[in-house]
Structure 1
Amino acid sequence: MPTDLLLPQVTTLDHTELSVRAETLGYDGLWLGELWGTSSVVQLTDIAAHTDTVVLGTAIVNVFSRTPAVLAMTAATLDEVSDGRFRLGVGTSTKKAIEDLHGMKWDDPNPVRRAHETIELTSKFLGEDGRVEYDGEIFTVRDFPSLDADVPIYHAALGRANRRVVARLCDGWIPHNIPFPDLDEAFSYIADQAEAAGRDDAIDVAPYVPAAVSDDVAAAKDAIRGHVAYYVGNGRGYEQAVAQRFPTDATAVAEAWRNGDREAAAANVTDEMVKALGVAGTPERAREQFRAVSEIDCITRPIVTIPSNADEGMVERTIDALAPSSY
């Protein structure tokens, strides 16, 4: 099974140098997120020029701040400069990021509808069907040629409505903060909806696997606690995903975070939550845990995801310990 790496965004390590190293360590795919400060598509262009075989992807760019036409042009260009190695990973992001950073309306008409139309229209632009016409609730397009670029589209969907978008339109699914024991059931809904839509193509499942490796097991677990607290506190969708298994605990984490007490929010992430939402421990134990997650039936390419609160020593230790070459 492929093992991918989400390049850490909050680090002084050079992303391109780190990518070259990760390819040497045997990682099959490298993904880069985008929130604020660094353009993932510019950085991935440089990475494409310095790597040879590793898959490259965005995980994720949001569906609000770039139009489908811009996403399609970007994807087609990155696919060309990487010799066909690019995957476009998109998602709705969070209300906080869309409204307070991008100055756009989160619910106009709603994030799921925007994801659906953005993915559908981007796919049409990337296709080989000649000239594109599209009439949607959000987007209307008239008479522009498609780009004939074969770029898989992945969607970081959590709720059922958004997972239907994956089922109907996408090549891959990037879940995050759905507890590992619940992933098979969550994906079975996608599979059922895909079958109902008449699709017979396999859907790649590439979950974020938050991971922290250290000889100090408590420090590794604390890194996962901080990671979970950040996402549950900042995004209602993440909170709801965690709450499917940990309803009381997820509420406690979210309330503490939104009240400004980040230490309490992290402290409310229990050991059971750490186990169900991350990988943490010594290199040997972390490899065992990561292997167990990778063996979940629906997963096809797990993504090692290092918490932004991990120090650089933990970042490098985790990348080395979970690399395919370490097994």
Structure 2
Amino acid sequence: MSETTRFHIEIGTRNASPDGAEKAARFAAESGFGGLQLTETQHDPFIGCALAAREAARAGRPIRVSTAIAVAFARNPMTVAMAANDVQLAAEGRFALGLGSQVQAHIEKRFSMPWSAPAPRMREFVGAVRAIWRTWETGERLNFRGEHYTHALMSPVFDPGPNPHGYPPIWLAGVGAAMTRLVGEVADGFVAHAFTTREYLMEVSVPALAKGRERSELAAPVELIALPFVIAGRDAAARAAQEAAVRQQIAFYGSTPAYRGVMELHGWTETADRMHDASRRGEWREMAALVDDDMLDAFAVAGTPAEVRDRLADRFAGLASTVCINAPETADPADVAALAG
């Protein structure tokens, strides 16, 4: 991992709609953030990233845009390679392709796509995307054949040719050790889930990334992209509504078996069980009461904008290369803008 003591500050938005992405890009550019990250929930983040890149450029301050994340297994490597190539063109080289696996129920039931062990499938997915880009770059014959994906046809009419800005870095999201090792092996960056603590990063994620890099052909250090919950307000009243929303989000993730390892590391296994049981009963609001102050402090950074900046530095300097502000919608835009420094 990089030994840098500084990090790049970006901002994320859950509203990746065309209008939302453009507004977020203007806000990021005018506030001085270094980038904008769009996640895939209700809208396609590739379209949002392309529009955001153009809007930031029109605002006079181009920024990096990234999908953090787009759901890989809802697509195939060819569609992702093409979309990422186009966004890289729109962003004039300031794009990062962030991918994640999602969970089995969503892949099979929401997207009607096949599911298998996610780490081996993701390894093949990334290899296929890079093989497609290499064909466009060099003109060599496309001949990627794997267990899950086969790409062996690229006629000239479908070949966009080399990207003048090069191809974007590939970031992968992960929580568990197996997927995180894979990130170290095949990716340029690691998108740490918001439901991650510094202790979990240091004790689980960073060692797993290092093990993966030992087996990798990539020489550059893995970028670590942190997405901490942030509660920033000039006074306690301004922070109160944000705190309630963050406790609710932490409880939601804490109830999810896929993230149980984080809870176990901190000795919160019993709380995780109670959260999971509450979720099965549909007691979503009641779950937030299970998030005590120690748990809130582990996952979130809170205070005035100046205090939040200092606490982010204490938590992530020397660990993360990029910190993406993950603030509730109830936060005052002026307070969020102040986090850019």
Task: Tell me the TM-score normalised to structure 1 length.
Answer: 0.88
* Residue 258, structure 1, aligned to residue 280, structure 2: yes
Aligned residue identity for 1:114: R
Whether the 8 Å contact between 2:191 and 2:226 is mirrored in structure 1 is yes
- Residues 230-245 of structure 1 aligned to structure 2 (within 5 Å): 230-233=252-255, 235-245=256-266
Residue 269 of structure 1: aligned partner: 291
SS at match of 1:298: coil
* Separation of aligned partners in 1, 2:103 and 2:337: 31
- Residues 293-304 of structure 1 aligned to structure 2 (within 5 Å): 293-295=315-317, 297-304=318-325
Shift of 1:317: 4.5
2:142 to 107, 132, 138: 132
Residue 312 of structure 2: aligned partner: 290
Aligned residue identity for 2:30: T
* Separation of aligned partners in 2, 1:146 and 1:274: 48
* Range 142-151 or range 20-29, more displaced: 142-151
Whether the 8 Å contact between 1:243 and 1:251 is mirrored in structure 2 is no
Residue 4 of structure 2: aligned partner: none
Aligned residue identity for 2:200: D
Gaps of 5+ in 2: 1-6
Listed one character per residue, the Cα deviations across residues 168-188 of structure 1 (whole Å, up to 9, x for unaligned) are 110000011121222123212
Shift of 1:11: 9.6
- How has the CA–CA distance of structure 1 residues 10 and 276 changed in structure 2, closer, same or farther, with 3 Å as cutoff? farther
Listed one character per residue, the Cα deviations across residues 199-251 of structure 1 (whole Å, up to 9, x for unaligned) are 42111100111112232244332222112122333x43223333322323233
- Residues 93-132 of structure 1 aligned to structure 2 (within 5 Å): 93-105=102-114, 108-127=115-134, 128-129=137-138, 130-132=140-142
SS at match of 1:202: coil
* Separation of aligned partners in 2, 1:203 and 1:68: 22
Aligned residue identity for 2:185: R
* Separation of aligned partners in 2, 1:98 and 1:298: 32
2:87 to 74, 78, 85: 78
* Residue 225, structure 1, aligned to residue 247, structure 2: yes
Gaps of 5+ in 1: none
Whether the 8 Å contact between 2:16 and 2:48 is mirrored in structure 1 is no
- Residues 40-59 of structure 1 aligned to structure 2 (within 5 Å): 40-52=45-57, 53-59=62-68
- How has the CA–CA distance of structure 1 residues 79 and 199 changed in structure 2, closer, same or farther, with 3 Å as cutoff? closer
* Separation of aligned partners in 2, 1:323 and 1:40: 23
Whether the 8 Å contact between 1:239 and 1:251 is mirrored in structure 2 is no
- How has the CA–CA distance of structure 1 residues 14 and 93 changed in structure 2, closer, same or farther, with 3 Å as cutoff? same
SS at match of 1:9: coil
- Structure with greater Cα Rg: 2
Residue 15 of structure 1: aligned partner: 21
SS at match of 1:14: helix
2:38 to 26, 32, 37: 32
Shift of 1:12: 12
Shift of 1:62: 0.8
* Separation of aligned partners in 2, 1:39 and 1:12: 9
Shift of 1:163: 1.1
* Range 152-161 or range 9-18, more displaced: 9-18
* Separation of aligned partners in 1, 2:92 and 2:260: 38
- Residues 150-169 of structure 1 aligned to structure 2 (within 5 Å): 150-169=167-186
SS at match of 1:3: strand
Aligned residue identity for 1:140: T
Shift of 1:66: 1.2
- What count of residue pairs does the alignment treat as equivalent? 315
1:142 to 136, 152, 164: 152
Shift of 1:315: 5.4
Shift of 1:263: 1.6
Listed one character per residue, the Cα deviations across residues 268-290 of structure 1 (whole Å, up to 9, x for unaligned) are 11211111111223333323322
SS at match of 1:51: helix
Residue 327 of structure 2: aligned partner: 306
Listed one character per residue, the Cα deviations across residues 34-85 of structure 1 (whole Å, up to 9, x for unaligned) are 122x221112221111113211100111111111000000001100111001
User: How high is the sequence identity, in percent, across the aligned residues?
Assistant: 24
* Residue 213, structure 1, aligned to residue 223, structure 2: no
- Residues 180-219 of structure 1 aligned to structure 2 (within 5 Å): 180-185=198-203, 186-214=205-233, 215=235, 216=237, 217-219=239-241
* Separation of aligned partners in 2, 1:43 and 1:317: 23
* Separation of aligned partners in 1, 2:133 and 2:280: 40
Shift of 1:147: 5.3
* Separation of aligned partners in 2, 1:212 and 1:10: 21
